[in-house]
Amino acid sequence: MEKLRYERPLIKRLESEMPNKFGMKAEHFPKSHIDGVAVKDLLEEHGSPLFVISEKTIRNTYQRAKKAFSTRYPKVQFAWSYKTNYMDAVCNIYHQEGSWAEVVSGFEYDKAIKNGVPGKRIIFNGPDKTISDLTKAIQNESLIHIDHLDELYTIVELTETIKKRPRVAIRVNMDTGVYPMWDRFGFNYENGQAWDALNKIMASGRMDLIGLHTHIGTFMLSAKAYGVAARKLADLALGLKRKYNHDIKYIDLGGGFPSKNTLKGAYLPGNDTNPVFDDFAEEIASALLNSEFSPDALPLLILETGRALVDDAGFLLGTVISNKRSSKGKRNTIIDIGVNLLFTSFWYDHKISPAQEFTHFNEETTVFGPLCMNIDVIRESALLPLLNRGDHFVIHSVGAYNMTQWMQFITLRPRIVLIDMNEKVHIIREAETMDSFNKFENTPEHLKKFEL
């Protein structure tokens, strides 16, 4: 007789609690395959833990976003936010789909150029653009989004030596009624800084002012705020039209759309509550169409959304190391994925699904990473089925920021694979090795020897 699948014995006291309307989150469904490839096979071949990116999900999500906006507004352009995930393979999927590049450092800028993005199709954001970055960007005719007055003056100075007119926009910050208000980047709308900066650019006569940019926040749960932002940028554009008879070419509303992740402290799952592309598109498109732009001078709408496009396409596969019980009697599960790989676990309750079948019995569990560090907690409390040592699981929606903010800490970083449209698996980043890590180190001669 074939033996039954083992599940550890479980005894639970029935607590006589009344529904307090705030129950536990049960995560019910096994995730044994990603795009038709077995989780078990992936881990066997590539080791555990393992990042997996689904090309299919990326393209589908992109198409959905594009459709949401382009059915409501005639001129739409996406620009892939490199910082969200700058694996070349990932960036190039977006470029194949038609995305420009949005970068925030010289490093990211060079990456985009190396990927083959034409300079004219690179948007350069951020407060730290060096003189050599700016020089390059001016020569390549990239779109420079000015963040502060010092940068504006630097660009004016550079035009004395470079014989090209920089193509610029300013970044505007504003009150859109959401909290917290991001006012550290760019020029403020309400107090007149933004209008002042625009006048300075026009007065210099040395640059082409072609756009207006804002980025109102991150993981925005209100679509309405984008309508406010669009109206305020339209108002600035109208001011330029009146005063200088100058038409700006584009309005860039940045990113900040949420993925399906659930923020810590949220009661209902993000998958149910977070606004979707259609909600944002509706607000933004109506704000622009109802503004005073004349129909034949409607600006191009640029979107730099990163998280909402890539988060759900990323999976992190891992293995259970051990089950323990805490001094207070609570179940602890240690997995081979820590906060070094899953930076976003600091603000999300990431969904974790076992990769194999399980019964409906479950236990409230704290999920710890493997690091020798107390803050290494992946989930403070999750209602999980009874996972055994060696069992596999899938952490969902990890495609944004984790592959750029991960830390080489205590251990080396694992492989990243991509599953293509035909369900073929490609390694897009090798696991780090002792050699790759040591390549950067140099030990002075007198420190090379010791006796113990």
Partner 1 sequence: MTKKRKLTIAVSGLNAVDSPGPGVAVIRALREAESFDVRIIGIAYESLEPGIFMHNLVDKTYQFPYPSAGVDAILERLEYIHSIEKLDVFIPNFDSELYPFIKLEDTLKEMGIHMFLPTMEQFEERHKVNLNEFGEKYGINVPKSKAIHDLGAIYSISSEFTYPVLVKGKYYDAAVAYNMEQVKTHFNKISAKWGYPIIIQEFVHGTEFNVTGLGDGFGNTIAAVPMRKQYITDKGKAWGGISISDKRMLELTDKFLSQTKWRGGFELELMKNKENEFYLLEINPRMPAWIYLAVGVGQNIPEALVKLALGEKVEPFTSYKVGKMFVRYAWDMIVDMEEFQIISTRGEL
Partner 2 sequence: MKIKPNIAVSDSGFVFNPDTGESFTVNPIGVDIINYLKDNKNTGEISTQIRQKYNVEQPTFEKDFDDFVGLMLNYSLVIND
Q: What CA–CA distance (Å, rounded) separates 298 from 285? A: 11
CA nearest 220: which of 257, 254, 253, 259? 257
Q: What CA–CA distance (Å, rounded) separates 304 from 77? A: 9
Distances (CA, A) of 330 to 89, 183, 367, 378: 42, 43, 11, 16
Q: Scanning residues 151 to 190, which ones bind partner 1 (CB under 8 A)?
A: 179-180
The continuous run of DSSP H or E covering 324 comes out as: strand 314-325
Q: What is the DSSP letter of 341?
A: T
**449 interacts with partner 2 by CB under 8 A:** no
Is there a contact between 136 and 103 (Cβ–Cβ < 8 Å)?
no
CA nearest 281: which of 5, 69, 60? 69
**9 interacts with partner 2 by CB under 8 A:** yes
**347 interacts with partner 1 by CB under 8 A:** no
Closest to partner 2 by CB, 8 or 426: 8
How many other CB atoms sit within 10 Å of the CB of residue 328? 5
**28 interacts with partner 2 by CB under 8 A:** no
Per-residue contact string for residues 267-286; x = within reach of partner 1 by CB under 8 A: xxx-xxx-------------
Q: Scanning residues 18 to 37, which ones bind partner 1 (CB under 8 A)?
A: 18-19, 21-26, 28-29
Q: Which of partner 1, partner 2, none has residue 8 at its interface (CB below 5 to 8 Å by kind)?
A: partner 2
Per-residue contact string for residues 70-99; x = within reach of partner 1 by CB under 8 A: ------------------------------
Closest to partner 1 by CB, 14 or 375: 14
List, in order, residues 6 or more apart from 338 with CB less than 8 Å away. Answer: 369, 370, 371, 373, 376, 378, 410
Q: Which of partner 2, partner 1, none has residue 271 at its interface (CB below 5 to 8 Å by kind)?
A: partner 1
**389 interacts with partner 2 by CB under 8 A:** yes
Closest to partner 1 by CB, 10 or 297: 10
Per-residue contact string for residues 317-336; x = within reach of partner 2 by CB under 8 A: ------x-x---x-------
CB 54 to partner 2: min, Å = 31
**361 interacts with partner 1 by CB under 8 A:** no
Is there a contact between 201 and 210 (Cβ–Cβ < 8 Å)?
no
Q: Which of partner 1, partner 2, none has residue 17 at its interface (CB below 5 to 8 Å by kind)?
A: partner 1
Q: What CA–CA distance (Å, rounded) separates 1 from 167? A: 75
**375 interacts with partner 2 by CB under 8 A:** no
Strand pairing class (362-368; 416-419): unpaired
How far is Cα of residue 235 from the mean position of the Cα atoms in its chain? 29
- Total interface residues for partner 1 by CB under 8 A: 23
Candidate residues 32, 70, 388, 411; the one interacting with partner 2 per rule CB under 8 A = 388
Q: What CA–CA distance (Å, rounded) separates 94 from 105? A: 19
CB 22 to partner 1: min, Å = 7
Q: Scanning residues 388 to 427, which ones bind partner 1 (CB under 8 A)?
A: none
**123 interacts with partner 2 by CB under 8 A:** no
**7 interacts with partner 1 by CB under 8 A:** no
**Which of helix, strand or coil describes residue 263?**
strand
Q: What CA–CA distance (Å, rounded) separates 109 from 103? A: 6
Question: Among all chains, which residue has been given the structure tokens 């002792």?
Answer: 434
Q: Which of partner 2, partner 1, none has residue 18 at its interface (CB below 5 to 8 Å by kind)?
A: partner 1
- Total interface residues for partner 2 by CB under 8 A: 20
Q: Which residues bind partner 2 (CB under 8 A)?
A: 3-14, 323, 325, 329, 359, 361, 386, 388-389
